Amino acid sequence: MKKVSNIIADGLIVLALSTPVLAGTVGMQRNFAVVQPDAATISQLQQASEAAQREARVGNKDNPAFAQKSYQIDALVQRMQAGEQVSQNEVDQARQPVWVW
């Protein structure tokens, strides 16, 4: 029994010491590359939005994830067309397909 409690205590100590390392910096924002809105990127995003809408209508009518993805992409395109700066990370996430679990 003592051996089990020692293992658990050691595990808790390791977890407590490693948590700050895994958490990253506090109060610091990550700087991602800013995408300049160009016609090709906007066109690709619009095609991804249409594909998500098509998939929502045809294949997964009961799953709102596809409609939500289309809405998010459309909002991103509107932000880009309004001249707002958009990070490359946001564009990459918008291009990713919908994951249905």
Q: What is the pLDDT of residue 101?
A: 64
pLDDT band at 35 (very low <50, low <70, confident <90, very high): low
- Hey, where are the domains in the chain? 30-95
CB within 8 A of 82, min separation 6: which ones? none
Q: What is the pLDDT of residues 46-76, one digit of tens each?
A: 888 888 888 777 766 667 788 888 888 899 8
Percentage of the residues of the chain whose pLDDT score is greater than 90? 1
Q: Is the pLDDT of residue 31 over 70?
A: no
pLDDT at 92 over 80: yes
Global confidence as pTM: 0.58
Contact call for residues 56 and 63 (beta carbons, < 8 A):
yes
Residue 85 has a pLDDT of 84
CA–CA separation, 88 vs 42, rounded Å?
Answer: 13
